[in-house]
Amino acid sequence: MTDADTPPLPPRSRPRWLTFLWTAVVLALLTPLGWLVNLPYFSASAGPTGDAVDAVIVREGFEVFQPEGELLLLTVSLQPVNLYEATVAFFDRRIDLIDRELLRPQGETDEEARQRGLMAMERSKDIAVAVALHELGLEESLAAGVEVVGVFQEAPASDSLASGDLVVEMESQPIRTVGDIRRILETRSPGEEVEVIVLRGSERIPVSLALHSNPDAPDRAMVGISASTSYPIDI
């Protein structure tokens, strides 16, 4: 038999153990990345519940009517997610994945997000008080204006308004509740100015405020303050 008749040798196969070794090395390198790489999503899931009735403080001397059934406070947990947490959330029907920009607009600072959260909390409390007073037929008669609770640091209003100011007039219309301001702003656009009268102590101060875009809805105008309806009684 000549060399020409000799069949070619089969290619040398890589040992199986070496393939497993390389696979293990690659996985060992990639595994930490799954924990380190944050995705542009938040996970939203139900948090613990608490008894809301126990959190209500009632002064002595007032008659208290206990509610029937339970009144629970539900909390929602919002957390940024990495690759592994997002994978778990994708298969867990109790967890929702929400686009980060729906909750935190691009470019929003931590302070702006904190102020926006405080404003939402104040608005929620204000609505609860308004509903209770409306049920008693007292909302409009008791509302005395809109108190500035806080001002966004980068908002134009930060140069003119301060915590404790009481907004009593906007665009020549009397302001009694937060809803009055909201109705006026619905007819305005970002970039426009509104004329406001505020009470600072006993002094009436006219202020021109430039409106800017609402981070949650860029086409809507906002003043850039957290505010609540002021009542002359302690609620």
Q: What is the model's pLDDT at position 226?
A: 79
Q: Residue 30 and residue 24: Cα distance in Å, rounded?
A: 10
Residue 4: predicted pLDDT: 54
* Domains, the chain, with CATH or none: 116-235 (2.30.42.10)
55 or 141, which is more confident: 55
pLDDT of the residue at 70: 81
Q: Which of 211, 51, 53, 227 is nearest to 124 (CA)?
A: 227
Residue 145 has what pLDDT? 86
Beta partners for residue 182, in sequence order: none
Give me the residues paired with residue 229 across strands.
146
Question: Which residues have a Cβ under 8 Å from the Cβ of 161 and sit 6 or more positions away?
Answer: 148, 151, 198, 207, 209, 225
What is this structure's pTM?
Answer: 0.54
**20-48: pLDDT as tens digits:** 666 666 656 656 666 777 888 889 998 88
Q: Is the pLDDT of residue 149 over 80?
A: yes
